[in-house]
Chains A and B, each alone.
Chain A
Amino acid sequence: MAHEILHEQEIAHAEDTIEVPAERERPRVKAPLIEIPTRWVKILKDMWGNKTRSLLVIFSIAVGVAAIGMIRTGRDVIENDLFAPFLLTNPSSASLYIAPLFDTDLAHAVEGMPEVERVEARRTVAAFAFDPQGKKWDFGMEAVPDFKDIRVNQFDVEKGIGTPGVREVLLERRSADSLGVTVGDVVTVQLPDKNTYPLTVVGIVHDLSKIPPFLFNETNAYVTMDTLRWMGQGDGYNRLDVITSEPSTSRAHVVEVASQVRDRTLEPAGYALGSIAFGGFSSKPRSFWSQDQINGINVVLNAMSIMCMLLSGGLVINTISAILTQQVKQIGVLRSIGGRRAQIIEMYLTNVLVFSVLALIIAIPLGLLGGFGLASFFADRLNFDVRGVSLSPSTLLIQVAAGLLIPLGAALLPVIAGTNISVYDAVYQYGISGSGRNGIIDRQLNRIQTLTRPLAMSIRNTFRNKARLGFTLATLTLAGAMFISVFSTRASLGAQITEMQRYLLFDVTVPIPRNISVYIAEREARRVPGVAVAEGWANTRANVIHADNSEGGEVEIRTTPDKSITIAPEMVAGRWLLPDDGRNVVISYDVLDHEPDLKVGDSLTLSINEKQRTYHIVGIASRHINRYVVYMDYGQFVKATGWADPVSEVRIRVDPAHLGTRPQQEAVAKAVEQHFRDAGISQSHPHILPETLDQISKSFDIVLIFLIIMASLLSIVGGLGLAGTMSMNVMERTREIGVLRAVGASSRAVRRIVLFEGMVVGLTSWLLSVLLSYPLGKGLSDSVGVAVFHSASPYTYSWQGMIGWLVLATLIGAAASLAPARRASRLTVRQVLAYE
């Protein structure tokens, strides 16, 4: 109906065209090269005219999109350049340590078993080597039957040759870096018997199965059996690297096959299976040594990038709302000159689309660069090569989809709401805000009479536009909760390490070879000046045997001296060992990870040196972080192992009352090392406590660095959101501010009202963050704990994080309101009238 009339009108008014006088000379019209519809000109000019705000939106979208790209690209690189090449090395399902030494016939026999796919014999010898600075490194040597035909855990030759001769050595590339040698150099190797042997480096290899030296100070080398014979080592192999039949990556299957190998091949041939190693920290056979940790980190980073994107969406909502608020009158004018609502919605959504496209232009290469950085960071730590980064179609698709759809989706609501205003309201009513403030919060705030007027105004103003406040608070609260959670995660892991110190209350520890008596080791240690206490500890490996006689997880058996001062166990259940406690044992809580049904009072059967013995659990000690430990009486340990006066390490204290300082520890370590060497007790390098703890800390520092970067990004996004909100608030209350100034408010008073308002929002978000940070922090701490240590750490809430965020939230609140406050304080009564 209306359209018919409009049609008639079109025809009608066509007759009324204004005639422009032809005789007047027209000024030159500066026409652009390409004429585009004026409404799009407006959008572009609006964007250009408010560069800060435009950059704010573009940056906030770009941050989220780049984070997605970085994480996905980094993950792709790790997948393509680490995991895929790793699988090409024929990684073993498990390494079986066998005694006594054997020849390749045994390997062939094992390979003949139907449960076994492929086998390779190896000989491992532990030694030491020194770098040019004199630092002593553990030096693990391996010999293989044929360097030209390595069948399992293959490596690539990067420099020199791949087949060493007698007195020659191949070094893993990171080990060569650590030792500061290259092809042609000579590395001096010291065996535990103190004899040293010069080996010429003839090749540098890249072996993905080896843990780089930065983590455990252990370097890796390859020599021939002839070289080992030259070094006085016995002839034969001591390890079988096995790839089982499928499923070769199933831990249960691999353990079962190892049992079959032991029962059907090793033991009938007179060999004993000492232990089974799966390599590194990974729980899954045939996976990269830190695959679990990488996967865990990926999960956490993914969650963070999604959160970043959601916060970006929140910021888009805030900023688009700000634009619409600022342009309410313009929307009214556009409608008054014929603009339909759909056209105006289209204009603002196009605006968002332009922001998104610009953000994508920045974010896609930035994400690629970030992915390269992330992968390079991991490559450096994990010893692999980044062959190049490429943007996968799926990553590009997700980035484009997230970069376009999330901002558009986020903007849709404010655009629809903002354009739903009549010309009358937009042109004549806008700027007179909130007359009907009658909510519960408003009423309560109005009752507060003790505050100064400006402060009371700031607090009341904060709660005037509750929807906007809600969005701002949500953004800042999430950022704050994540910030505190990262600190809580750090505190939890730190507390876990500190907690673990109760099992490491020594200044120095020295590994002792098996042939030394505990009495001699302790006595010689006490002879070293500065040593106040020396405790001989012994340990060995064993396997848990289940009731159905199946083999369970591997555990470490430890025996401690009576009244040891280098351990202060925290009992989760039951009690600690008493002197002469018979077959009573205490297990670490970690053992329950693999044997969850064990409890105080249960029997525990262990296979120690191929003999099964049953013990009685009297206590469960707190977590040791990935250490499956069974503590037992010294006498029982001797009975179980059959060793006379066994000792595996000597733990030393410089003062019985407290731990020594690091210089004291270093001095004693040096003196003990020298003395033990001179006395022929141990050639091993002593470890001081801080070094031990450093090694543990290093493994989760990487994760925390990334979490802190992401939390900082979230804080920036949250701060930008608040800045947008404060701008909108000032804009909407221009008329009020004019009135305030008209009744005598100074610039300082106006500025203070706005600043206080920002800080009130900051503080409110802090309160909410504190509430949210507890569960969020626990989730994050558990995830990182599982990723890094395979077990969730006991949760420690970070008060420092909470206080830190209080300071930051207040600062963000103040900083975000600074510019709007300045703008508000500069408004004059005349300008406010002009705002009409």
Chain B
Amino acid sequence: MSTNGNGHKHKHNNGHEHSEHLIDLRDLVKVYRTPAGDFPALRGINLKVGRGEFVSVVGKSGSGKTTLINMITGIDRPTSGEIVIANAPVHSLNEDQIAQWRGRNLGVVFQFFQLLPTLSVIENVMIPMDLCNTYPLRERRGRAMHLLELVDIAENANKLPSEISGGQQQRAAIARALANDPPIVCADEPTGNLDSVTADAIFDLFADLVSNGKTLLMVTHDEDLADRAQRKIVVSDGNIIAGETV
């Protein structure tokens, strides 16, 4: 299930090294330029994640764990290094290419859910299909309903996000992340804003997704939850100090 850093590699015809790993980060550096001076958030990260892995990323505040996940999702860009995900050189794509790639290949779950407030729960799940044109118009509502059933909030489908609880909003956000059926789901502190019972339920949901073949990366402060993942990566001062390889 997991691979180590010695996985097979060969040159891809686009000039990037082809990787057998689903996620392959190579010498990843991220430096933030601030008025107070340069701040290195990631200092040469190398990480490989295989298909179907459930990886938790932990670390103290400011350690670089959110930056790391943002590199994988393409939300933030590296200062140097390569990000190859399912053989896509994410680091070399422009913003629009990344958006399109992400929409089809990677679901993102934020700490604060980030549902669109004027759309109902089901419409929030439908909108990625619309933006990426992945399913015919007539099929989208049915598929969105399937996903809401999967995350167990189908009865709230026509409610606005403000009308449901935080846990239900996070479930809706997960359903939205799955809308285009991406192989990878990345979640940044998905339980950070939830009580422990709801957090457990969300974790179980993630575990179900992994058992259905999804690859899941989850940033969390919660050591207990992190320990329940198949693989735990510990980030400190911009370096992976544990879990780089399994």
* Chain A residues within 8 Å of B, Cβ to Cβ: 1-6, 8-10, 12-14, 16-21, 24, 26-27, 29-31, 35, 37-39, 41-42, 45-46, 49, 329-330, 332-343, 422-424, 427-428, 435-436, 834, 836
Contacts and interface: CB of A to CB of B under 8 A. Distances in A.
Nearest to B176: A337
Contacts of B99: 335-336, 338-341, 423
A605 to B, nearest CB: 82
Quick one: which of A3, A8, A27, A338 has the most chain B CB within 10 A?
A338
6 contacts: A9-B101, A29-B141, A30-B158, A38-B123, A341-B96, A341-B99
A42 B161 CA distance: 14
Contact of B112 (A1, A16, A435, A836): A836
Given A1-B14, A12-B183, A20-B149, A42 B104 contact: no
B220 interface: no
Contact of B93 (A2, A16, A18, A427): A2
Contact of A339 (B114, B131, B212): B131
A27 B183 contact: no
Interface stretch (B57-65, B132-140, B195-203, B229-237): B132-140
Query: What are the 5 A-B residue pairs with the smallest beta carbon separation, nearest first?
Result: A338-B103, A45-B118, A20-B146, A337-B128, A338-B132
Interface in B72-112: 73-77, 86-89, 92-93, 95-97, 99-105, 107-108, 110-112
A535 B35 CA distance: 86
A540 to B, nearest CB: 80
- Chain B interface bracket (under 10, 10 to 19, 20 to 34, 35 or more): 35 or more
Nearest to A422: B95
Contact of B141 (A13, A35, A333): A35
B127 interface: yes
Nearest to A48: B118
A39 B105 contact: no
A644 B181 CA distance: 111
Contact of B140 (A38, A330, A427): A38
B183 A2 contact: no
A66 B167 CA distance: 50
B10 to A, nearest CB: 15
A340 B130 contact: no
Interface of B: 14, 35, 66, 70, 73-77, 86-89, 92-93, 95-97, 99-105, 107-108, 110-112, 114, 116-119, 122-123, 126-132, 137-138, 140-142, 145-147, 149-150, 154-155, 157-158, 176-183, 209, 212-214
B101 A2 contact: yes
Contacts of A26: 145-146, 149, 154
B147 to A, nearest CB: 8
Contacts of B140: 35, 38
B127 A337 contact: yes
A422 B14 CA distance: 26
Contacts of B100: 6, 338, 340
Contact of B127 (A8, A39, A834): A39
Given A6-B104, A9-B87, A18-B178, 13 more contacts: A1-B14, A2-B97, A26-B146, A27-B145, A29-B122, A35-B138, A37-B137, A38-B140, A336-B99, A337-B102, A340-B131, A427-B110, A436-B35
Contact of A13 (B73, B74, B76, B104): B104
A45 B182 contact: no
Nearest to B155: A27
Nearest to A35: B137
A832 B16 CA distance: 44
Contacts of B214: 16, 18
A1 B177 CA distance: 26
Quick one: which of B111, B181, B214 has the most chain A CB within 10 A?
B181
A1 to B, nearest CB: 5
Given A6-B104, A8-B87, A27 B154 contact: yes
B89 A31 contact: no
Contacts of B93: 2
Contacts of A343: 131
A427 B88 CA distance: 24
Contact of B104 (A30, A37, A45, A338): A338
A151 to B, nearest CB: 73
B77 to A, nearest CB: 8
Given A41-B123, A42-B118, A424 B75 contact: yes
A49 B100 CA distance: 28
Nearest to B15: A1
B221 to A, nearest CB: 15
Contacts of B70: 424, 428
A334 B127 contact: yes
A38 B119 contact: yes
A333 B150 CA distance: 22
Contacts of B146: 20, 26
Nearest to B184: A13
A30 B144 CA distance: 12
Contacts of B110: 333, 336, 427
B94 to A, nearest CB: 8
A49 B118 contact: yes
B73 A6 contact: no
A12 B146 CA distance: 22
Contacts of A333: 110, 114, 116
A9 B157 CA distance: 30
A222 to B, nearest CB: 71
Contacts of A30: 157-158
A738 to B, nearest CB: 15
B119 A45 contact: yes
Nearest to A836: B112
Contacts of B182: 13
B76 A20 contact: no
B21 to A, nearest CB: 14
Contacts of B14: 1, 4-5
A430 to B, nearest CB: 12
A38 B114 contact: no
B42 to A, nearest CB: 14
Nearest to A10: B104
A343 B89 CA distance: 23
B180 to A, nearest CB: 7
Given A38-B123, A336-B102, A5 B96 contact: no
Given A20-B150, A424-B76, A427-B75, A337 B181 contact: no
Contacts of A38: 119, 123, 126-127, 129-130, 140
A340 B129 CA distance: 13
A90 B81 CA distance: 88
A26 B110 CA distance: 27
B149 A24 contact: yes
Contacts of B119: 38, 41-42, 45
Contact of B128 (A18, A31, A338, A834): A338
Contacts of B88: 2, 5-6, 9
B141 to A, nearest CB: 6
Contacts of A5: 14, 87-89, 101
Contacts of B132: 338
B43 to A, nearest CB: 19
Contacts of A337: 102-103, 107-108, 127-128, 131, 176-177, 179
Nearest to A49: B118
B112 A422 contact: no
Contacts of A423: 73-76, 99
Contacts of A27: 145, 149, 154-155, 157
A8 B14 CA distance: 13
A202 B85 CA distance: 99
A263 B138 CA distance: 92
A329 B138 CA distance: 29
A444 B75 CA distance: 38
Nearest to A330: B116
Contacts of A14: 181
Contacts of B129: 38
A428 B66 CA distance: 10
B164 to A, nearest CB: 14
